[in-house]
């Protein structure tokens, strides 16, 4: 699997896992939400460990930008709240930063 796809899959797994805890804790949903939440967070950690990188911190930092963009898409597609211009602008800035971390020349 390519690095961008791994980052996207990891972001979706992380958001879904956190959303399961959110649904249980903040929305009063059943504690049964915790089981898929824990599973999803485990999947997130496994996926992020697949990223080809010399250093874990660099892989995690680059993931942060993808995570933020994916979170804004989650806001729109799952929670049915249209992101405002500040959501979109902030996510774009973060994605540029993640690209610099991921693709910047090393020497």
Q: What is the pLDDT of residues 34-46, one digit of tens each?
A: 999 999 999 999 9
Q: What are the DSSP E strand ranges found in the chain?
A: none
- Identify the pLDDT of residue 4: 86
Could you say which DSSP state residue 27 is in? H
Percent with pLDDT over 70 in the chain: 100
| Residue 62 to residue 20: CA distance in whole angstroms | 24
pTM across the whole model: 0.83
- Reduced to 3 states (helix: H, G, I; strand: E, B; else coil), residue 16 is helix
| CA 10 – CA 14 distance, rounded (Å) | 6
């Amino acid at each position: 699997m390519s690095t961008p796809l791994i980052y996207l899959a990891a972001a979706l797994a992380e958001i879904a896992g956190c959303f399961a805890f959110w649904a249980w804790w903040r929305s009063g949903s059943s504690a049964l939400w915790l089981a898929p939440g824990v599973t999803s967070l485990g999947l997130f950690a496994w996926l992020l460990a697949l990223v080809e990188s010399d250093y874990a911190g660099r892989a995690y930092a680059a993931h942060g930008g993808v995570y933020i963009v994916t979170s804004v898409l989650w806001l729109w597609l799952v929670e049915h709240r249209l992101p405002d211009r500040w959501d979109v602008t902030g996510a774009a800035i973060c994605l540029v930063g993640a690209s610099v971390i991921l693709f910047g020349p090393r020497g």
